[in-house]
Amino acid sequence: MHTSVILSEALRYFIDSEHFELSVVLFAVAVERLMKQRLCELDDVLVLDKNNSVEHLVRFKKLQDKVKNIQSRQNLMTRKERRETFLTIPYNEVISRYEAMFNLNIEEDEAVTDKHELKRIREERDRRKAALVRLGNMRNNIVHYFEYYYFNPVDEGLFILNEILPFIREMIQEVSDAYKYEDIFNETVFEKLKAKEEELTRQQSDTLSQKIREKKEEYSELNPELIEERKKINIRSSYDEREIVRDSMECPACGNASFCVLKLYTESEDDLSGQFLTVGRCFVCKLELSEDELKNTGML
């Protein structure tokens, strides 16, 4: 099955909100296959698992043109085409190699010497890498922990729209069979995606407003002595300096300068797919906002 078929199905499920979780899994599969395709088109070695296959393929690439026996040469080519004995790299390793070879499609021009511009480019690349890791973790959670995993279709839907689909469209332009994707992102699909984004943005704003309103009500009922005690909390006694993105911000719920933005590392149960999560927390009213909600409020 060609990746374009998988991507078309992912878009259909996503736009119609039918089996929304399945659309996320299919998007993740499409992203992985597109990255592997571009790496493979550069050199087959780049998609092979380094633990047991790279040396074999390197040796194969060096020797295949020197094999004189026609039948043996055909057998080697057949094995190469079918990938019968090859183990390809897992998702997170694909991201690392794609970053090494293609900068995740966010180029760092050698002519750029301004430190602030270089920092902006590298931060943008870090955000894209974090988005790809997040997509992979979403897929793993849906596939392996579907009975316990809480899936937020609003936040995750906006994440797909704003972070993943732009990357997919960029990758399509770089692969050799880009023409097979020409009819996927047509005008009708774009209109439906725009309507989807407007709908999800409205839902996210309504949910966020309700959350802030509830925290305001809770804050109004807090003991004044407890409030003063919480105001004295030193954020650096709880978090490392590297985890603090911004601090002493005005909380949108209680109005105190006690809101901070943190970048925290979390590990999954298998300890293989940890990721950095950006969250916002208030030490006084205990309001907590996700990265998507922080962006919605303009605090990130």
Using pLDDT thresholds of 50, 70 and 90, give the confidence band for residue 178.
very high
Q: What is the pLDDT of residue 85?
A: 59
Confidence of residue 67 (pLDDT cuts 50, 70, 90): low
What would the 3-class secondary structure string for 210-257 be?
A: HHHHHHHHHHHCCCHHHHHHHHCCCHHHCCCHHHEEEEEECCCCCCCC
pLDDT at 34: 96
Residue 80 lies in a domain: no
Same domain, 153 and 264: no
Nearest to 7 by CA among 184, 163, 193, 196: 184
pLDDT at 276 > cutoff 80: no
In this structure, the answer to whether residues 259 and 175 fall within a common structural domain is: no
Contact 253, 287 (CB under 8 A): yes
What is the pLDDT, as a whole number, of residue 44?
A: 76
In this predicted structure, which of 99-113, 119-133, 155-169, 207-221 has the lowest mean pLDDT?
A: 99-113
What are the pLDDT digits (tens) for 225-245? 999 999 988 888 888 877 888
Domain-embedded: residue 199: no
* pLDDT the model gives residue 53: 47
Question: Which tokens in the block code for residue 74?
Answer: 């055909």
pLDDT at residue 104, as a whole number: 86
- Asked if the structure places residue 81 within a domain, the reply is no
Given this model, what pLDDT does residue 62 score? 59
Q: Is residue 53 part of a domain?
A: no
Least confident of 79-93, 134-148, 277-291: 79-93
197 vs 80, more confident:
197
How far, in Å, CA of 127 to CA of 224, rounded?
Answer: 40
Do 132 and 249 lie in one domain? The reply is no
Q: What is the mean pLDDT of residues 261-271?
A: 69
- How many independent structural domains does the chain possess? 2
The CA distances from residue 83 to 48, 133, 154, in Å, are: 10, 26, 39
Q: 285 with 222: CB under 8 angstroms?
A: yes
132 and 20 part of one domain: yes
Domain boundary among 157, 185, 213: 185
Cα dihedral: 67, 68, 72, 74 (round 10): 90
Name the H helices within the chain: 3-16, 20-42, 54-63, 70-82, 91-102, 115-144, 153-159, 165-172, 187-220, 224-231, 291-297
Tell whether 168 and 28 lie within a shared domain.
Answer: yes
Give a yes or no: residue 218 inside a domain. no
46-54's contacts with Cβ under 8 Å and 24+ in sequence apart are 46/97, 46/101, 47/88, 47/89, 47/94, 47/97, 48/86, 48/87, 48/88, 48/89, 49/86, 49/87, 49/88, 49/89, 49/90, 49/93, 50/89, 51/87, 52/87, 53/85, 53/86, 53/87
Integer Cα distance of 49 and 254 in angstroms: 52
pLDDT at 274 over 70: no
The larger pLDDT score, comparing residue 10 to residue 299, is at 10
Does residue 291 sit in the same domain as residue 227? yes
Share of the chain above pLDDT 70, in %: 85
Using the 3D structure, point to which of 136, 159, 185 is the last residue of a domain.
Answer: 185
User: What pLDDT score does 263 carry?
Assistant: 86
Q: Is pLDDT above 90 for 139?
A: yes
Give the range among 46-50, 67-71, 88-92, 289-293 with minimum mean pLDDT.
Answer: 67-71
Q: Are residues 235 and 172 in the same domain?
A: no
Non-local CB neighbours of 87 within 8 Å, separated by 6+ positions = 48, 49, 51, 52, 53
6-54 tens-digit pLDDT: 999 999 999 987 788 999 999 999 999 999 999 988 887 788 776 644 5
Q: Is residue 102 part of a domain?
A: yes
Given a contact cutoff of 8 angstroms between Cβ atoms, the answer to whether 282 and 259 are in contact is yes
22 and 114 share a domain? Answer: yes
List, for residues 81-113, the tens digit of each pLDDT value: 555 556 788 999 999 999 989 888 887 776 777
Rg from Cα positions in the chain = 24
Q: Tell me, yes or no, whether 285 and 235 share the same domain.
A: yes
The answer to the question of residue 243 being in a domain is: yes
Q: How confident is the prediction for the chain on average, in pLDDT?
A: 85
Q: Which residues pair with 276 in a beta bridge?
A: 265
The boundaries of the domain holding residue 42 are 3-48+88-185
Do 146 and 240 belong to one domain?
no
End residue of a domain, out of 130, 165, 185: 185
131 and 276 in a single domain? The answer is: no
The answer to whether 218 and 285 are in contact (CB under 8 A) is: yes
Looking at the structure, tell me whether residues 161 and 284 fall in a common domain.
no
pLDDT at 206: 94
With respect to residue 256, please indicate whether it lies within any of the assigned structural domains: yes
| pLDDT given at position 271 | 45
